[in-house]
Every structure is written in C-alpha cells, then in structure tokens.
A and B are shown apart, each in its own frame.
Chain A
Amino acid sequence: MQKDRVWHLVSKKLAGEASQAELIELEELLRQHPEMHYAIQHIQDLWKLHPLAAPEAEDAFQKHLNKMQAKGIDVSVFKPDCRQGEPAQQTGEPYPSQMPGYPAKRPAAKRFIITGMTAVKAGLVFAAITAGLIFWLNPFQNKPTRPQTVELSEISTRNGSRSRINLPDGSVVWLNAGSKLVYDKTFGGEVREVTLTGEAYFDVVKNEQKPFIIHANNIDIKVLGTLFNVKSYPGENKTEASLIHGSIEVLIRNRPANSQKVILRPNEKIIVLDEPPAAATDKKNRQAEPFVAISHLNYETRDSTYLETSWVENKLLFRDESFKDVAIKLERWYGVLIHFENESLQQLRFTGSFIRNESIHQAMAALRLTGGFNYSINDNIIRIY
C-alpha cells in the first residue's frame, strides 16, 4: 500500500538513512498524498525533541566508582568522591519527568481501587479504607524546623489568571487561577518544600537526595520526580492529587499522631475529604479520620486530555457537573462573579469544554443554548435567572 511506503521512507529519512533516490521518491509520494502532511510534520517535530539529560547519571557514576573500588580496581585517577549530591543541572529548561505520560502496564492490582469513579459526588460513594489498600503507619519524619528569619517567596494568582513558576531546582509549577504557592529560602537545602492553596500542576525534577514536599491542607505529598496535579481550594471541603506519571507518596494527616501514607501510581488520583460524610461519623469518636478515595483519572477521549489536568492545556472541562460547580470553575477561569437569582438553576447539569481564547460571553451563550436559563453580564458580574 502506498501509504506504508510513505511511512517506510519517512522512517528512513528521520533516521538519516534515506538515499537520495528515496528522498526524491518520498517527495513525489507526498505530493500525491497531501492528507499525510499534517501528521508527518508533527512526527518530524517529535523527532526534534531530544531526550532530556538525566540528572541521576552523576549519582549512578558515583555508585559505579564505588563498585569498581569494591572490586579492587584502582579508581584513584578519578576525582575524589564528592558526596555532596550535585544539584541537578541548571539549564533553565524544564525537566519533565522522564517517563511517558501514560501509565505502563500495571501489575495485577494489589489494592482495592474504585474503578470508573468520576468526579466526587457529594456524600455518596466514599468507601472507608480497608485492609486491601497499601497503608502503613509511619510518622512523617521530614518536618524541618522553621528557621528564625524566614524569607518567603509567595506567588499567587487571582481568579482569571494563571501563572507558571520556575523553582530554584528547575522544577516547574503551573499555578491555576485563585491559587497560591509559598516556599522559603531554604528551598532546595535538604528538602524542597512548598505550600499550596488552590490548584497547581507540578513537574518535579528528580532528585532522590532531596525529596520534594507539598503541603496542601490536610495532606502532604512527597515526590521524587514526576508529573501530577494537586487541587486544594479553601472553599471546597476536599483535596485531590492526580498523578500523571512517576510516583508520589501522599501522607494524610490525622488528628492523632499517626499518619497514613498512600503511594499513587500513574493514572490514579486520591481525594481526601476534610471530614467524613455525616452518616459515618461516630459521634463518640471525635477523632474520625478524613475519608479518602482512590480512583482512576478521567481521560476525556473527545478532548484527548485528562479531565484533571485539562486546565494546564488551556481547556476548561466539566463532566456532568451541576451549574453550581460549573459556576465556580467559570469564576476562577474568567475572573468573574456569578450570582444565581433563581437558586433552583444551580441544579442544572452540564458537560462540556471551553478553550482558553473563548470569552466569557461565548461561554455563557453556549451554556444557555442547552441550559434553559437566562443571564446578564455587567462588567464582571453575571446574573443567572
């Protein structure tokens, strides 16, 4: 089939192994198949993406030297062992995780996972954590004492704006609207520690010597290097962490000294409620633990993106959500204020997506087409009636 011939020639061309005759043939075939240009252009761009340098090569080299020494090989010619864990190379470029963005095949699940669960529906489907999950009690060791004089770096975003932050270690944080990231000048010393209010997408440089720790409401997340999203808005009663790839350890802080640790695998997310649903609270037991659920991320095939991180790609997605919840998202996304004059309208449900350069006017108009409500926009205030 001709198209296969095209791919074959493209593959040789990309590898630098195509002969002159083959290159000419490829050109001619592409003239006959213009519909392939788009894809081939992107694949060529893909080929331009060079592998990122691996910071752990230096660690591995040190270990390698040790091994040679242990074998009795003379390693004195090599530089003296500098154990001070060399910092990741500062090239100023982001270091996305080295693993592909899609989870590798997972081994047979050792844990009980609620599959197919979509965004949290209030008060319904939380299951208490059972013995099936991987839990162990291990007090969180790494709480450094705060130094006397603390210089804080604080980055915050208003509703309607988002920000990208380059941390001193090369990690990158995309901060969503209405959020705040705080870290002090000891960042990158022994640990890399930040506090998050709101929502952010993290791309953490791998450094096993210096764990990256995020405090978000009642959970602490410990990261070695990976891509994930954390959502912890003060107005909502839950905190969510969604893992794209890599591996993160989520520590849930209880009132008792014991804490629970959960390790997330790619394509999983954890939702921690501030308080358990009313029905489950034992009134005598004031120290009921926060309710936790683990589920899979929601991949939206139509938009080729995860619901949880679509905002990073400039998309606002909502999936069967109440108008009330959608309104909150719109407020953050566009920096507007939405007021429901008719409260029953808050129960309308919507599924949809908006891309960044659509205005609030377009968004409201689209919603109205299906929603059966009226609205008015004045400055940044929207009335729904």
Chain B
Amino acid sequence: MRLLLPDLKEIQDRIALHNDEQAYKELFHYFYPSLYQFALSMVKTGQLAEEIVSDVFIHIWQKRAALARIQNLKLYLFISTKNTSLNYLRQQKRDALLPDDYRVQLRSVYFDPEQLLITAEMINRIQRAIHQLPPRCQLIFKLIKEDGLRHKEVAELLNLSLKTVENQMTLALRKIGSAIQFDIRTTINSGR
C-alpha cells in the first residue's frame, strides 16, 4: 500500500471538499505507523506517542476545510507531530528542545526468508551497524529510508542544514557499507 504523491493530493481533496471519512481513515492508516514511531522517538512512551498522533489527526479533521491548501501534507504531518511532541514534553517539564537521544525503531530492515533478497546474516550486520549510529543519525536514516522524506524535508523538520542531513546519510551508508563488506572466511572452523 504505497501512497504516491498524486494519491495524497486526491485524499486531501476528498477530505477537505467532501468530508470523505473513508479518505480520512486511509490517511490515518497510511501515516499512523511512521508518525507514531516519530513521536515515540522523541517522547519514548508508546501511550504518549499514540495520544500525540491522535491529536494531530483530530486537528486535521477539525481544520479539514483548509486542508486542500496545504502544499506538502506529508511534511506538514511530521512537523505537526514534532510540535505536538515538544508541547507534551514541555508540559511534563522535560527538555523542550529537540532531544538528541532519539529512540529509533525501524520497520523495514528485516529478514524475509521468502524473498531471499538479503540473508539473515546480512540483515543482522546491517541492523547492528544502524544501531551503532548516533541516535540523530538513525532518525535521519529512518525518515529518509523508511518514511520517504526528502533530504531537505528532513532538514526542515529537524531544524538542520541540508548539508548536515546529507552528511549524516553519507555517514550512515558508509557505516552500513563497511558492515556488509565481504570478507573471505573459511566455512569450516574448528577448535581455535
């Protein structure tokens, strides 16, 4: 279920102009996992993350008349999630600046024995490499790889320069690349 850009525009219009509840539900379903995980990376509690995404979507519904005017709905949703998260953090008297210790989880790095694209061993190495990246780098990697944001959208979302985002991605790929690097090894090891 990959929502392409033209589809998103259509969904937007259906909600804004026709109060189409099916479209609203589709929008929720499509973005919920990504937004939930994004909120979770900041607030670190599942319950709270769920509340936050719910708030974002309540707002969308209440202001749906104006929805058609939003140019980049995807980015809008992410920014909205960020701001709502920061509000909650502020209320809880936690640091209201963007934290640096994001708790990032990825849904798209897994061993799928059906597809045989990548072996389980390779996936392990990749996951390990990703896990060893600095948290902010992991977040950037996820937003681009999994959530499909563009580099400059990530920059805007996280208040970073485009250069920084690009450097972080380069770093991530380089680290993953070296984790994957083929090494010749004997298949039979015994008693060392």
Contacts and interface: CB of A to CB of B under 8 A. Distances in A.
B70 to A, nearest CB: 20
Interface residues of B, number: 66
B62 A100 contact: no
A36 B176 CA distance: 12
Contacts of A160: none
Interface range, A side:
35 or more
Interface in B107-166: 107-114, 117-128, 130-131, 144-146, 150-151, 166
Interface in A125-161: none
B181 interface: yes
A96 B146 contact: no
Main secondary structure of the interface of B (DSSP, over half): helix
B118 A42 contact: yes
A3 interface: yes
Given A77-B19, A100-B130, A61 B188 contact: no
Given A11-B166, A353-B189, A304 B124 contact: yes
B174 A57 contact: no
B25 A78 contact: yes
A198 B132 CA distance: 34
A96 B191 CA distance: 35
A88 interface: no
Contact of B29 (A4, A58, A102, A355): A58
B114 A93 contact: yes
B73 interface: no
A121 to B, nearest CB: 18
Contacts of A94: 112-114
B50 A63 contact: yes
Interface string B80-107: 0000000000000000000000010111
Contacts of B105: 98-100, 104
Given A8-B170, A61-B32, A67-B58, A303 B121 contact: yes
Given A54-B33, A96-B110, A350-B191, A305 B117 contact: no
The 10 nearest A-B residue pairs measured at CB: A370-B191, A51-B107, A39-B177, A54-B33, A51-B108, A11-B169, A352-B190, A96-B110, A313-B120, A57-B32
7 contacts: A4-B170, A39-B178, A57-B29, A99-B106, A354-B187, A370-B190, A370-B191
Interface of B: 1-2, 19, 21, 25, 28-29, 32-34, 36, 50, 53-54, 57-58, 61-62, 103, 105-114, 117-128, 130-131, 144-146, 150-151, 166, 169-170, 173-174, 176-178, 180-182, 185, 187-192
Given A17-B150, A50-B108, A67-B54, 9 more contacts: A7-B170, A11-B144, A38-B180, A46-B145, A47-B145, A49-B118, A54-B107, A97-B110, A104-B131
